[in-house]
Amino acid sequence: MRLRHVFIVLAALASILVVSEPASAQTSCGTRLLRDWSDGRIDGVYPVRCYRLALANMPEDVRIYSTAESDIKRALQARVRATHAKATVLKAAAPASAKQGNGVSLWLVVGISAAVLAAGSLFALVR
């Protein structure tokens, strides 16, 4: 009975090892981008690091005999511009309370108002 449980556990572990692929078998996003470009255009949208990985790991023959390098650089520039534009739009659309460093602090306005009110009251009492 106990031996049967051991075989079941070993069989389960063996099936997990057979089914799972090693981490080295997974392709990097740079490789996926190069594969996407293989038809002469980039159809997907990738993180900026993927474009840089693709440029860094591009095979020399592809770099020399194709337009891959310039195509990927152009796509990288477009991606950076789009990311920057999106960040600018999100920053502009943020509510005023979420913005930091813009305008005058509410506490500063309250403090100055209180000081002016106190000074006015003192002048009224002194007269």
pLDDT in tens, 29-85: 999 999 999 999 999 999 999 999 999 999 999 999 999 999 999 999 999 998 887
- At how many degrees (to 10) do helices 29-37 and 68-93 cross? 120
Whether residue 23 is predicted with pLDDT greater than 50 in this model: the reply is no
- Summarize the confidence of residues 11-30 as an average pLDDT: 58
| Structural domain boundaries enclosing 68 | 26-95
- Which pLDDT value is given to residue 81? 92
Distance separating alpha carbons of residues 107 and 6, to the nearest angstrom: 70
Whether 3 is in a domain gets the answer no
At CB < 8 A and 24+ separation, what contacts does 4-12 make?
Answer: none
Whether residue 89 is predicted with pLDDT greater than 60 in this model: the reply is yes
Q: Report whether 75 contacts 51 (CB < 8 A).
A: yes
- The number of folded domains in the chain is 1
Whether 53 is in a domain gets the answer yes
- Which pLDDT value is given to residue 24? 45
Whether 72 is in a domain gets the answer yes
- Which pLDDT value is given to residue 15? 55
Report which DSSP code applies to 28.
P
